[in-house]
Structure formats: C-alpha cells, structure tokens
Amino acid sequence: MDPVTHGLIGATASQSFANKRTFRAAVLTGLASAMLADLDVFISDASDPLLNLEMHRQFTHSIFFIPFGALVATLVIWWLVKKYLTLKETYFYSLAGYATAGIMDYFTSYGVQLFWPFTDQRFSLDIISVFDPVFSLGIIILTGIAFFKRKRNYAWLAIAWMILYLSFGFFQQQKSTRIAEEIASSRGHTITKLIVKPTIANQLVWSVRYESLDTLYTYGIRLFPFSEPIIYKGETAPLLDWRDEFNNFKGTILYDDIERFSKLSDDFLIKHPDHENVIGDARYSMLPTTLSPLWGIEIDTTRPDQHIDFGTYRDASPEVRQDFMDMLFGRKIP
C-alpha cells in the first residue's frame, strides 16, 4: 500500500488499545513504525537494477522480522516521545504499528515475502489496489477523529471499516474469478495460470489475465453492486519461452537476470509490443485489456556478462485515461 495509508493503519492499530494519557504519542509511534518497513525501497545497487525489486517487500515485511523491526522503530522514535511514553510502552505501540506493514501489503498485489527467511516465495491476495482513495479516506476520517477526541472507539470503527472494505474486495474478486473461468470455458481454454486483481484506485473494474497453451489472454470486468457485469475483451499475446530463446546464454549474468525477473513476475513474461528488446511483466498495464507492460528489462545480447537494464513504460496519455474512466463509470460499451 502507499506509505500514507500504511502509516494511518499503523496509527489505528496503536490507538486501538491506547489510553488517554498515551493516546496521541501512541498514534505517532504507530504511524512512524508502520512506514519504517517501506524504507527497503532505498536498498539498491546502481550496477544491479533488479536488486531493488527483489529487496522490496522482503525481510522488512516478514512476520518473523516484526519484533526486530519494532525494536528498531522504538530506538528511533523513543527520543521523540519519551516525555509521554516509557520505553516499554513505545515498544508495544511500535510493535502494533510495524506488524501491520507486511500484513496489509499481503492484501495487495506484487507479493510479500511473509515467511522470509524460511522461503522466498511471495504471497498476495490481490483484493485491493496498492492505492485506493476510498479505503484510505475512511481510515483518515476515523483515525483523525480518534486522534482529536482521544477515544479509541473510533479506532475500532476504522478497523471495522478496513474489514468491511477488504471483505467487499474479496467478494468482488471471487465473482470476477467465476466470470473469468466461465469465459475461458466458453472459449475452450484450459487455464494454466490465472490472475484476478483490481485496477488502480477502485474495487469496480477488475483485471483478468490467464494463461492457456502458452498464450496470455486479458479481460476487464466491471462489477457494480446490483448490476449486470460488463465484460471487456482484451488482447492476447504468446508468453515468452525465455529458457529456450536464451538457452545459449545459460551461465551468464544475462541469463541469470532474466531468470530473476521471471521469478519476480511469476513467469508472466512477454515481449513488449512497443519497445524492441524489452521483456515485460505482463501482469501489469495501464488498462486491464491491454498487454503493454508497465515495466520490464532491456535485453542486450552483446553484453551477456553485464546486468540488464530495468525500465518503466507507463502510458498515461489522455486516450488511455479516458478509456479507463469510461470503464470505471460503465460508459464504455463492449
């Protein structure tokens, strides 16, 4: 999730059991602690562009790192709140705030290494966008009221709001999944892999991508309560058999980097349609119906012993934005 929402959720967790004496200091402690986990975005190496992607949502988001992350947060924050909190209180409020970071990212896409170091597998539920203003607004209002009134009842209402909103996302996803399976069945496709996730900043338009016989199919599905679903047929593209295509480079840094990127992309790799020599992560695009990856790696076979370049390829043109808004408000006719 975005850093602001992370901080607000951490503040909510801390204030949910704070008393009036410690209330506001607890809020600030929980807010800062929850945001601390995302400092992993600064772990990078200019010579190895994929390192930053691998480290984000890694050890700092593991459930096993929570006690240590809370300890680091305590040592940093206590000097600011020691007039209001004991060291023990600071640690427990930090623990409550920090614990929310990895868990809340688990509800989004991309994946979190929740059980690092025992496994480097990324887990995600894909039921809420990394940025959802409706979700965040409810937390802002209720957490803000709790802060000014110093009443934890409002914090519990904020938690209830989060549970309600995430539950709505879960049911929307399940409905989208059933529709996706029906679409594939009607076309005689056997689904090998399926990704169903919300598009940016909403729970109404869902992105569907499924693999069948090494081909990737995309659909957009608009689900508005008490209305019939609107299905937008998208593009298709062959998935890249990178192991075969780059077999001659096995043992090189080039091959290893493609393998690393494939793992980060859950093996949903395609050739970017608009950028030559770019392999893209096909799970993400500006529209749910297109296969123009938002990011990818540029392959230079003349430099097999150097790390690949990583780039972003977002197309936020007025036409793309208009297409998305038409889907969101149901104005686009399939």
pLDDT tens for residues 210-260? 999 999 999 999 999 999 999 999 999 999 999 999 999 999 999 999 999
Provide φ and ψ at 268, rounded to 5°.
-90, 75
Q: Is the dihedral of CA 23, 26, 28, 34 positive or negative?
A: negative
Which residues touch 178 (CB under 8 Å, ≥6 apart)?
none
**48 closest CA partner among 301, 297, 267, 312:** 297
What's the pLDDT at 246? 97
Q: What is the mean pLDDT of residues 316-334?
A: 92
The tokens describing 123, both together, are: 């887990």
Quote the mean pLDDT of the chain. 96
The DSSP 8-state label assigned to residue 233 in this structure reads E
Task: Please give the helix or strand (H or E) that residue 270 lies within, else none.
Answer: strand 269-271
pTM of this structure: 0.94
H or E element in which residue 106 lies: helix 87-106
Q: Is 51's pLDDT higher than 90?
A: yes
Q: Give CA separation, 176 vs 33, 171, 222, in Å.
A: 35, 9, 9
Report the SS3 class of residue 316: coil
Yes or no: say if 264 and 54 are a contact pair by the CB < 8 Å rule.
Answer: yes
**H/E segment holding residue 329:** none
Tell me the CA end-to-end span of the chain in Å, nearest whole number. 31
- Report pLDDT for 205: 98
pLDDT confidence of 100, banded at 50, 70, 90? Answer: very high
Q: What percent of the chain has pLDDT over 70?
A: 100
Q: Which candidate, 77, 96, 95, places its Cα nearest to that of 25?
A: 77
